Structure 1
Amino acid sequence: MAGAALGAFLLWPRTRPRARKALVAGARELVALERSRRTRFFGDAFPEYRPEDQAVLRYLAAGAGAGLLCAVVAGLLVFGVLLAVLLARGVVRASVS
């Protein structure tokens, strides 16, 4: 999302360094959040190191596809539950009348 919002600034040479710096800073925060989440829930132990900017951006780009797929599946699940509720409601109303 941040890459899309900063896309125009990343294309323009005058604003590219600042936009890239903001994008990488946000990416580092997300990576730190993910590492703390994995440590808390799964007990993973991560060595203390500071990966290169490219590695952080590649990691988030790889996770974006999986996140998008999960969002689509969750949306379809919610839509299916909504349709099931509407169908059950219609069946109950038809049998009551």
Structure 2
Amino acid sequence: MRYQFCQYVTIVDMSDEILSEVIFEHGEFESNAVAIGSSVLIHQLGLKQFDVVYDKREGKTTRYKIEDIEVNLIEQPTVTRVFLEPVRLIVGQHDIGEVE
């Protein structure tokens, strides 16, 4: 089955003031059945200026838990979105510099 993996990301400044909240789309993946509470191993998220990107530097992988599974029966074909646990990124601390 194909799943669209998404994750809520809150971008804050050093004073913990919210600058923006976005849904980062990891993409569509073919997988066996997934369940809430399962874990997904993927690249960590980071910031390039104010854009959320993968931090693909060596050793920058992390495990996120699946928090919710949404099946949209209105769209055709049916879309199944898997939401990973939300993450908070701090401008200045989670900047990864230039992305290749």
Which TM class, normalised by the smaller chain length?
A: under 0.3
Looking at both structures, which has the greater relative contact order when contacts are Cα pairs under 8 Å and sequence separation is at least 6?
Answer: 2
Q: Which has the higher strand share?
A: 2
Q: Which has the higher helix share?
A: 1
Normalised TM-score (structure 2): 0.20
Normalised TM-score (structure 1): 0.20
